[in-house]
Structures are given as structure tokens and as C-alpha cells.
């Protein structure tokens, strides 16, 4: 029986090694691929292969990626969860921290690895990651806090047969009849899926302990993962090692990562079912599954499959909440100097399209990337106006402690991702102010870089403005971001200006695409913001 490469790729843990330079040449190319075995389509891969390879680095390595763009449109790479401290221009957010890599051009991303845990790398231009330009990015440390025998990455996503440009156009259509949810026939586990469950079998050896690194790289939706008759121990979320939390299942929103330890049974008498269902949201603690997915944990090819789903005794979907986790490094939450309340709405705007918005302001990429603006407008870089109304800039002073309250007034869950930092998860509660639903963190709140806020609930998070740069804060459901659910934190403009020298390649790529290398969001000087769009605005009555 063919061994899946992702199972065989479980790394034996290496002892402490000297910091090294990990240099990768990535030619970003269109590739025909057939992930569900049901007919292929054009995907975006690397060096004419799909899926792009997982990247493994060690703490203190330098990761260098020479990214060449062989597509017919711009592209970029974002290392999701890496703080890019001092290297804002390598954060990959097109329109914020770069112009994008022009077709036929190159951009070299270089970062000193200061964080460990489970991350991923993906394009941050339009829906290219949904078209396949994404891969796990795993950072190992010499001594992991927990012991395990094998390290397995499971990248989970919903698979679309259509290219993301089509889906974008469909969702942003002015016709309500066209704006239907795109079809997702299958779940992919490490880029394979489809009706043949053997393609996603997870093979366990009796007695071994596995670290499963679950990464949700979906375009939309939430995933819940569980193995029948196995408990799991959560040990990491979004790169932060936590104290052990025993669970039967975990749920992950797009962009989120959770590592669990699973101890295999001692006998290979039976095989079991694992689940990785997609659901849209959790209401009253009940998930609405839209795409159930099951595959097999195999101890022995000869053993019978115990299928608990058939007897209604499946996994206990005991939705644990991230706010209950305790990081092992025990950092107390900072105080608060700045308060940023954000209401989340979806509605039809006066351009007759459906947009999503923070405080009714729907994000639009400025003409000139916000980082260019910060570096070329002198003292005006301290004024929010200069970045453009639609890039929703929020200026944060150096070392200011920011508290963000996200009030989700929508009918869907949204996973919010912060670039350049992680945040402390302080409070969760419901908009109806039901005290039973309010939860506060302990003294050492969990920190993460992506938080889900269910519909009609709120979350309060805090971060410290200790990483000068311009950092996007957005819903990680790709299409929601394209529908405008994003804003930018402009952290410590004085320090950005004092300490940033843009790489030559940054400017060359802008030149190639005809994007000015100076000026405000409109490409003009000073506060001349003529033509800066304010709308569209929500049609009244939502």
C-alpha cells in the first residue's frame, strides 16, 4: 500500500543544531493538478509542482526565499504568524507593505526566525492561496516542551473546483441571484481528498505519541477535528505553547493552527474514523456542518474499521474555547492606553454589492502601498488621512497598549488575523449580554494571531505596539477580506521612518507595475487626497 508522503514525512526530532541559512528558490507557476482525483484544474504551485513544499526551519535560522513570479498577475508571500520585526517590507501584504511581485520579476523575502511552532506561508494577493499557493511553515526549537514520537502536519481546507477569481466575481456580483455560496465538493487533507478515503488515511503505530499540527488553510468555513475513541491534548495554538488541555475535538477557523498530542492505542485490533468537518458557524453551541468529512486512522490494514458514527456514538464535539488555554511562558496582559471598538456587519452597499465592513468602512487597497506612504510623506505620516480613508488606518504610538473589541453583528463567524504581532485573548461574550456566556481569561491570557468571533458574540483582545510597521488586521476568510473586512494598524510611525530602508527590489516591482514610489494613498503629495473614495456606504436599514 502506498504510504502517503505526508505521513512518512513525520520528522524525527533533530537535536540542537547551529543556526543556518535556509535559502529557497521559489518560481511561482501555474500547474495543472488534480487534488480530489475527480478531474483537475489550474492551480498555483512552486517550481512547476503542486502543492508547494512545506518549509521546516529551526529557531535562529535565517529563512530566505527568492520568489520569482511566473504568473500573469502580481503575487506575494506572507509568512502567517511571523512578526517580521524590523522587516515590515517582507510581510507580503500587497497594497500595505509591498506593491506585489510583478509578473516576470523577483522579490527576495528574508527573515531571521525568532518564533517557533506552527505557521504557514501563503500569497497575500487576491485569492491566490485558495488556488493553491500555500504551504506549512514549521519552526522547530532545540528542546520542545512536550515529548512525542512523530510530528505530523495536517493542512485542512475546503476544495473549490473553480478558480478564486470566478468566486470573487460571483460573490461581488450586483445580482443577488448570482451571489450564492461557491460549491466545495471535498475537503482536502494535505492537498489530497475526494471520495477515496484511503488517500487521507492517517497511519498510527500502537503505543506511539503523535503531535498533529492542524492548520486550517481554507478559503472560507471552520473545521472541527476529532478522532473517534481517542482523546487529544492541546499543546499549541498559533505558535504559542500551552499547558496541556485534554479535549475530544478541536475547531479551527481559517488561519488558525492547533497542535495536539494523540497517544495511539496499544493494540492494532481496530481502525478508527477521524473527522474534519467544515461548518459555517456555531450557534447555541451547535455547529452547522456543511461539508462532513471522514477518513481513517489505520493501525493495521487487516483490522476492521470501528465506525462510531454508524452507531451514533461519534466524537464528543466538546467545543473548548481558546480563552481557557494557558500559555506556558506566562506573560501577564498589558494595561490599556488605546481602545478600538469594531462593529462587524455584512450588508448590501450603495454600489449594490455585498460588502463586509468594520464600522461600516469597507477596505479598499490604496493606490500607493501604506508603507511607501509612511516613508515618503514626512511628518504627514502621523496623520491617518494620508493613508486613505478606505485603508482604515489606525495610528498606534510606540509601546501603546491597544485593546480591540470586536462586536460581530453578522450572521457568520469571522476569523480575524493580526499581522506583525499576536494578541492576548481577554474576554469573550455574547451581544445579548447573557452573563452565562461571558468568559474572561486567567492572569496569563492565551496569545494568538487569529481569533474567531461567532455571530452575535464579541471578543476583547489586546496587543502592545512594540513592532513598528504597518500591519493588516483582517478577516481571514479570503473572500470576506476581498469584500472589505480589513483595516491597518500604523504602529509607531516615527520609528518606521527612522529605521526602514526599502529594498531596491521593492521599488523595482512598483515601477514595473506603474505604482508610484512616493506619495499619499492617492499617489499625490501632502494631504492632497482628491478623489480618495469614501464609499460605498451601506444601504440603510440593515
Ligand X SMILES: *[C@@H]1O[C@H](CO)[C@@H](O)[C@H](O)[C@H]1NC(C)=O
- Interface residue with ligand X, options 65, 215, 261, 296 (CB under 6 A): 296
Least distance to ligand X, CB of residue 306, Å: 10
Position of cell 473517534?
Answer: 228
Nearer to ligand X, 50 or 82 (CB): 82
- CA-based R_g, the chain, Å: 23
Q: Do residues 370 and 380 make contact, with C-beta atoms less than 8 angstroms apart?
A: no
Nearer to ligand X, 57 or 477 (CB): 477
Query: Is 85 a binder of ligand X (CB under 6 A)?
Result: yes
- With contacts defined by CB under 5 A, how many residues of the chain interact with Cu ion? 4
Which residues, numbered 414-473, are part of the site for ligand X (CB under 6 A)? 415, 421, 466-467
- Please report which helix (H) or strand (E) contains residue 504, including its range: helix 504-512
Least distance to ligand X, CB of residue 472, Å: 15
First to last CA, the chain: 56
Position of cell 453551541?
Answer: 285
SS3 content of the chain, % helix, strand, coil (to 5): 15, 40, 45
**Site mask for ligand X (CB under 6 A), range 101-140, x = bound:** --xx-----xxx----------------------------
The site partner of 443 among ligand X, Cu ion, none (C-beta below 5 to 8 Å per kind) is none
The values of phi and psi at residue 148, to 5°, are -155, 160
Query: Is 59 a binder of ligand X (CB under 6 A)?
Result: no
Least distance to ligand X, CB of residue 528, Å: 27
Minimal CB distance to ligand X: which residue? Answer: 221
Could you tell me the three cell numbers for 281? 458557524
The site partner of 156 among Cu ion, ligand X, none (C-beta below 5 to 8 Å per kind) is ligand X
Position of cell 455585498?
Answer: 354
Could you tell me the three cell numbers for 338? 488605546
The burial class, CB within 10 Å (0-12 / 13-18 / 19+), for 396 is: buried
How does strand 486-491 pair with strand 393-396? parallel
Position of cell 448570482?
Answer: 178
- Interface residue with ligand X, options 171, 253, 262, 451 (CB under 6 A): 253
Residue 114 sits at the vertex; the CA angle it makes with 110 and 118, to the nearest 5 degrees, is 95
Q: Do residues 63 and 110 make contact, with C-beta atoms less than 8 angstroms apart?
A: yes
The site partner of 475 among Cu ion, ligand X, none (C-beta below 5 to 8 Å per kind) is Cu ion
Distance between CA 300 and CA 85 in Å, rounded? 47
Residue 279 sits at the vertex; the CA angle it makes with 274 and 282, to the nearest 5 degrees, is 115
Distance between CA 137 and CA 118 in Å, rounded? 6
Nearer to Cu ion, 356 or 521 (CB): 356
Nearest alpha-carbon partner for 275 in 333, 195, 189, 178: 189
Contact region with ligand X (CB under 6 A), list: 44-52, 217-225, 322-330, 441-449 = 217-225
Q: Do residues 87 and 111 make contact, with C-beta atoms less than 8 angstroms apart?
A: yes
- Interface residue with ligand X, options 57, 135, 223, 232 (CB under 6 A): 223
Residue 178, number of CB atoms within 10 A of its CB: 11
Nearest alpha-carbon partner for 490 in 408, 409, 375, 411: 375
The site partner of 11 among Cu ion, ligand X, none (C-beta below 5 to 8 Å per kind) is none
Which residues, numbered 451-510, are part of the site for Cu ion (CB under 5 A)? 475, 477, 480
- With contacts defined by CB under 6 A, how many residues of the chain interact with ligand X? 58
Contact region with ligand X (CB under 6 A), list: 81-89, 135-143, 233-241, 318-326 = 81-89
Nearest alpha-carbon partner for 271 in 247, 295, 248, 293: 295
Q: Please list, in sequence order, all residues whose beta carbon lies within 8 angstroms of the beta carbon of residue 8, skipping any fewer than 6 positions away.
A: none
Nearer to ligand X, 312 or 443 (CB): 312
The site partner of 270 among Cu ion, ligand X, none (C-beta below 5 to 8 Å per kind) is none
Query: Is 197 a binder of ligand X (CB under 6 A)?
Result: yes
- Interface residue with ligand X, options 294, 337, 456, 505 (CB under 6 A): 294
Least distance to Cu ion, CB of residue 416, Å: 8
The site partner of 307 among ligand X, Cu ion, none (C-beta below 5 to 8 Å per kind) is ligand X
- Interface residue with ligand X, options 48, 309, 321, 525 (CB under 6 A): 309
How does strand 117-122 pair with strand 232-237? unpaired
Query: Is 502 a binder of ligand X (CB under 6 A)?
Result: no
Query: Is 83 a binder of ligand X (CB under 6 A)?
Result: yes
Least distance to ligand X, CB of residue 113, Å: 9
Query: Is 184 a binder of Cu ion (CB under 5 A)?
Result: no
Least distance to Cu ion, CB of residue 215, Å: 18
Could you tell me the three cell numbers for 208? 506511539
Contact region with ligand X (CB under 6 A), list: 35-43, 137-145, 259-267, 321-329 = 259-267
Least distance to Cu ion, CB of residue 281, Å: 10
Position of cell 510611525?
Answer: 493
Which residues, numbered 143-162, are part of the site for ligand X (CB under 6 A)? 156-158
Query: Is 252 a binder of ligand X (CB under 6 A)?
Result: yes
Strands (E), 217-283: 222-227, 232-237, 240-247, 249-253, 257-263, 271-283
How does strand 209-216 pair with strand 150-159? parallel
Q: Within 13 Å of residue 174, how many CA atoms lie on the same side as its CB? A: 3
Query: Is 414 a binder of Cu ion (CB under 5 A)?
Result: yes
The site partner of 279 among Cu ion, ligand X, none (C-beta below 5 to 8 Å per kind) is ligand X
Chain positions contacting Cu ion, by CB under 5 A = 414, 475, 477, 480
Chain positions contacting ligand X, by CB under 6 A = 1-2, 62, 72, 83, 85-87, 103-104, 110-112, 156-158, 187, 197-198, 207, 216, 218, 220-223, 252-254, 263, 265-266, 273, 276, 278-279, 294, 296, 305, 307, 309-312, 343, 359-360, 415, 421, 466-467, 477, 495, 498-499, 538, 540, 542
Amino acid at each position: 500500500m502506498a504510504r502517503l508522503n505526508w505521513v512518512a514525512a513525520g520528522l524525527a526530532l533533530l537535536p540542537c543544531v547551529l543556526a543556518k541559512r535556509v535559502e529557497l528558490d521559489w518560481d511561482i507557476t501555474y500547474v495543472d493538478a488534480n487534488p480530489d482525483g475527480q478531474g483537475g484544474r489550474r492551480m498555483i504551485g512552486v517550481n512547476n509542482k503542486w502543492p508547494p513544499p512545506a518549509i521546516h526551519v529551526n529557531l535562529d535560522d535565517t529563512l530566505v526565499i527568492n520568489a520569482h513570479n511566473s504568473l500573469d498577475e502580481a503575487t506575494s508571500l506572507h509568512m502567517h504568524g511571523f512578526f517580521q520585526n524590523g522587516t515590515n517590507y517582507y510581510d507580503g501584504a500587497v497594497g500595505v507593505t509591498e506593491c506585489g511581485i510583478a509578473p516576470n520579476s523577483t522579490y527576495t523575502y528574508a527573515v531571521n526566525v525568532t518564533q517557533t511552532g506552527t505557521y504557514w506561508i501563503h500569497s497575500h494577493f487576491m485569492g491566490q492561496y485558495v488556488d493553491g499557493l500555500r504551504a506549512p511553515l514549521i519552526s522547530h526549537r532545540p528542546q520542545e516542551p512536550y515529548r512525542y514520537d512523530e510530528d505530523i502536519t495536517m493542512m485542512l481546507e475546503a476544495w473549490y473546483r473553480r478558480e478564486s477569481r470566478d468566486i470573487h466575481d460571483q460573490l461581488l456580483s450586483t445580482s443577488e441571484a448570482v451571489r450564492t455560496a461557491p460549491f466545495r465538493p471535498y475537503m482536502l487533507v494535505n492537498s489530497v481528498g475526494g471520495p477515496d478515503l484511503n488517500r487521507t488515511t492517517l497511519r498510527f503505530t500502537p503505543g506511539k505519541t503523535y503531535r498533529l499540527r492542524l492548520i486550517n488553510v481554507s478559503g472560507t468555513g471552520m473545521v472541527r477535528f476529532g478522532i473517534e475513541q481517542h482523546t487529544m491534548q492541546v499543546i499549541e495554538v498559533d505558535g504559542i505553547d500551552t499547558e496541556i488541555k485534554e479535549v475530544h475535538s478541536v475547531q479551527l477557523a481559517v488561519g488558525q493552527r492547533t497542535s495536539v498530542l494523540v497517544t495511539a492505542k496499544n493494540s492494532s485490533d481496530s481502525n478508527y474514523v477521524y473527522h474534519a468537518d467544515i461548518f459555517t458557524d456555531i450557534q447555541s453551541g451547535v455547529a452547522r456542518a456543511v461539508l462532513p468529512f471522514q477518513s481513517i486512522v489505520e493501525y493495521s490494514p487487516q483490522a476492521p474499521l470501528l465506525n462510531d458514527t454508524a452507531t451514533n456514538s461519534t466524537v464528543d464535539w466538546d467545543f473548548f474555547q481558546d480563552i481557557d488555554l494557558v500559555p506556558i511562558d506566562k506573560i501577564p496582559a498589558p494595561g490599556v492606553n488605546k481602545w478600538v471598538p469594531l462593529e462587524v456587519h455584512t450588508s448590501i452597499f450603495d454600489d449594490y454589492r455585498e460588502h463586509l465592513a468594520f464600522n461600516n468602512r469597507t477596505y479598499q487597497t490604496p493606490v500607493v502601498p501604506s508603507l511607501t506612504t509612511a516613508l515618503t510623506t514626512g511628518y504627514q505620516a502621523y496623520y491617518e488621512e494620508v493613508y486613505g480613508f478606505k485603508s482604515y488606518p489606525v495610528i498606534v504610538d510606540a509601546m501603546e497598549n491597544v485593546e480591540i473589541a470586536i462586536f460581530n453583528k453578522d450572521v457568520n463567524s469571522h476569523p480575524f488575523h493580526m499581522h506583525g504581532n499576536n494578541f492576548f485573548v481577554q474576554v469573550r461574550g455574547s451581544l445579548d449580554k447573557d452573563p452565562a456566556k461571558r468568559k474572561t481569561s486567567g492572569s496569563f491570557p492565551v496569545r494568538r494571531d487569529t481569533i474567531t468571533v461567532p455571530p452575535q458574540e464579541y471578543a476583547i483582545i489586546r496587543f502592545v505596539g512594540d513592532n513598528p510597521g504597518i500591519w493588516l488586521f483582517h478577516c481571514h476568510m479570503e473572500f470576506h477580506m476581498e469584500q472589505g473586512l480589513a483595516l491597518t494598524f500604523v504602529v509607531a510611525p516615527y520609528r518606521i521612518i527612522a529605521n526602514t530602508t526599502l529594498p531596491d527590489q521593492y521599488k523595482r516591482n512598483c515601477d514595473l507595475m506603474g505604482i508610484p514610489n512616493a506619495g499619499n494613498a492617492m499617489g499625490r503629495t501632502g494631504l492632497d487626497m482628491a478623489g480618495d473614495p469614501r464609499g460605498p456606504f451601506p444601504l440603510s436599514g440593515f
